[in-house]
A = this chain, B = another copy of it.
Amino acid sequence: MARLPVYLQLLSDQFDAGCSNISSEELAELGGVNAAKVRKDLSYLGSYGTRGVGYDVEFLMFQIKRELGLTHEWEVVIVGAGHLGQALAGYGGFGERGFPVGGIVDVDPDKVGTIIGGVRVQHVDDLAHIVQSRDIAIGVIAAPGAAAQDAADALVAAGVTSILNFAPSVISTPHGVSVRKVDLAVELQILSYHEQRRANARRAAKLRSVPARQARGASA
C-alpha cells in the first residue's frame, strides 16, 4: 500500500492543525483522491473508523505508523559520496523523517575521511562492518549509473535487504531484497513530454486558425 505514507503525512498536518477527527471524504479531498479509495485502503489496516463519525486522527496515525514499521528509526547507509551522495547526506530530510544517515561509503580513497552532514565517509570495503554493527537494513545508492550494480551487490553482500536507487540504471538483486528507484531525469523527461504535447497542440491550433482567418479575409 504505497498510499499509506501519504495519508500519514496528511493526518500529521491535520493533527498539527488541531484536528482530532477526520472523515474519509475530508482526507480524500486533502490527498486529491477518491473517498472510497481512502476507506478501502484504511480498512486494510482493520476497522479503525466509527460509522457516522469518521476516524480519530491520532489513533489512525499510530496504526499507520505501526503498519509501516515507523515505531522506531531506521538508519540508512549511503553508497557514493559524489555530488548526489553529499546532497542527500547534507540535506537533513532523511533524519527528520526517521531515517538518520548511519554511514556513507565510497570506492574513492580520496573521499574517505571527509565529513558530510556530520558523518565520516568510509571505504566501501567497510560496508559489511557498518551494516552489521549498526543493524542497518536500508541502503541508498547515490553512485553513477555504471557503478550502481556494484553498489547494489556490495549492499546485498553486506546484509542490506532494502535499496533506494538514485542511479539512472536498473539494478538486479536476489529475491527477498526490495528495491525502489528514483530517477530525477526521468521525472523531468515526463514533464518535458507534457510540455512537448502542449507545444504541439498550440502549433496545431495556430495552423487551423491561420487558413480560417485568411478565408475570412483578416490580415493583421
A19 at the interface (CB under 8 A from B): no
Interface size on A, residues (CB 8 A): 63
CB neighbours (8 Å) of A157 from chain B are none
Cα of A192 to Cα of B176 in the assembled complex, Å: 14
A123 to B85, alpha carbons, bound, how many Å? Answer: 28
Question: Could you say which of A1-9, A50-58, A206-214 contacts chain B?
Answer: A1-9
Residues of B close to A1: CB separation below 8 A:
193
Is B169's CB under 8 angstroms from A191's CB?
no
CA distance A169 to B11 in the complex (A): 11
The answer to whether B94 touches A170, judged by C-beta atoms less than 8 angstroms apart, is: no
**What's the Cα separation between A76 and B4 when bound, in Å?**
31
> Is A32 at the interface (CB under 8 A from chain B)?
yes
Query: A188 in the interface, Cβ–Cβ < 8 Å?
Result: yes
A164 interface residue, CB < 8 Å from B? yes
Q: Which residue of B lies closest to A199 (CB)?
A: B69
A32 CB contacts on chain B under 8 angstroms:
170, 172
Within A72-104, the residues touching B (CB, 8 Å) are 74, 76, 83-84, 86-88, 90-94, 97-99
Q: Does A215 contact B (CB under 8 A)?
A: no
